[in-house]
A and B are shown apart, each in its own frame.
Chain A
């Protein structure tokens, strides 16, 4: 394949008319550059939105109780019922492939409102959750000081609390030590053992103004007994929670004697489904980037094809001479194809390099100037780059094909005739 003379010739041909070669190369360069930039921008937006989703385990559903709407097994309709702690065990036993089943309870927020937390002279209205330690995996947060709830807290019903950055800002002075201090939640004192910060959001937002206490402590301190407010259920990776949710709901219907056709008694929210919608939006965006970029690239390739046709036309006589001297048609075709592939590959690689350099530049600019809303780390993967290069070689081949055919159609006698 590699022949010194052939490559020498390719370079000779392409360098005879520098300006034209550079202009042609620019078409392909620009095409691949735009393609790369579009993909990177799409990725940046995707990363940004993803961060807004936080690291929330997206394969999760939330489930709560409402009133029954159908009479069943001697029980009337419009009946109130609550999930209980043993339901967690029952779901776990009856539905496979579940990773976490977290029972949760809540004080404050939209249910009661009003100031419920007191520290010294300061008061505030915050959401207070009774939770198991697993919740940190389902609703990830960064523990910024101290620790999160653990199973010793659950077992011995310790009155400890983990407070959000927003809570800290409202109840404490700047620089004040938080760990080890006490806050009073609805008349019960809790020791603060940790602070958290949720990803992405700033301190003023609601999700930073939450207080987490052990589930068991919560139940006892606020008289919830066995009651479970709602559950956050996460499936194992590889199984979508959407495929399991009917089984989970049915298990609960049986347990709580709800009519099997009563669709309103148990409410749920499927986060996975929502997440999938966003996912398909990004898939759509990626497609648009690929389609637009490819069209730009195609116009560049047509440019190459065009120039190769002109080059062949210009060299008609030379090709005729070569044919007369005994060069085989295949060799001429190979020559034209190689020139075309060489031109597209080189200019394409330049486009890839320049594009990557620009993306790198944007990234370091973003890093140094702080985060921008909904736009984080624009990038393209190695697979994308390598398939772009493959695409270039194929398109070089395609661009050279028609000119190569027209080159071998040159009959030596006709080429030599016009003198």
Chain B
């Protein structure tokens, strides 16, 4: 599903250049649930941004579902993001003057899905994350966990090939974190490919595979026994 070969990325900071990714080789098959771990500055977020087409690599190959990703115009990148990728952020990033269902329907709107179908689909996904009753509430009226669940519903609404989660539990207490991870595991169980960036060990162990980044290179890539988050959720 995702294939990355010899990926380099450096940022220019004034006259200095900061080499963040120093030759990443990485492969993820369909249906995998991968945790990308590393201390801050290890390059894990940069990697996720490149995979998410929010940022461009300097050199190296990136193939997503057999589509080579390179030399993208902004319009094309927007299209690919919309079609291939779903994003979940640490700070939820819901649009605060739109209610839950409108937020979920947003990617569908960019796909030019008709209004009625959009509403139906969005409600359906809200139902999946257990927030059907909260459809008309604004983000400010939701708790952190609920916001993240709306964000996950929004990410899934466009039926992406890969779900990218950047510290999805970073702003949540452990109880809500487990609820969110439970949801992510369920989505993974349905066959979706998911990449989770985290620095929390327990969250990482709820994935099926852990990739350790350090100073811009992958130092460890191992399969793990998945801990079901539902064990912690009453």
Query: Which chain A residues have a beta carbon within 8 Å of chain B's beta carbons?
Result: 4-5, 12, 16, 317-318, 321-331, 408, 411-413, 416, 419
Contact = CB atoms under 8 A, between A and B. Distances in A.
A4 to B, nearest CB: 7
Interface of B: 49, 52, 54-55, 74-75, 78-83, 87, 89-91, 93-95, 97, 106-107, 109-111, 115, 154, 158
Contact of B81 (A325, A408, A411): A325
Contact of B54 (A12, A330, A331, A416): A416
B93 A328 contact: no
Given A5-B115, A330-B75, A413-B49, A325 B90 contact: no
19 contacts: A318-B95, A321-B94, A322-B95, A322-B110, A324-B87, A324-B93, A325-B81, A325-B154, A326-B80, A326-B81, A326-B82, A326-B83, A326-B107, A326-B111, A328-B110, A329-B75, A408-B74, A411-B54, A419-B90
A328 B115 contact: no
Nearest to B80: A326
B113 to A, nearest CB: 11
A19 to B, nearest CB: 17
5 pairs of A and B residues whose beta carbons are closest in the complex: A326-B82, A413-B54, A326-B81, A328-B78, A326-B110
Contacts, number: 62
Contacts of A330: 75
B78 A327 contact: yes
Query: Main SS of the interface on chain A?
Result: helix
Given A5-B115, A413-B55, A416-B54, A326 B78 contact: yes
Contacts of A322: 95, 106, 110
Given A12-B97, A16-B97, A325 B87 contact: yes
A95 to B, nearest CB: 71
A138 B14 CA distance: 83
A51 to B, nearest CB: 58
B159 to A, nearest CB: 12
Contacts of B95: 318, 321-322
A325 B110 contact: yes
B110 A327 contact: yes
Given A317-B93, A412-B54, A413-B54, A325 B106 contact: yes
Contacts of B52: 324
A10 B94 CA distance: 18
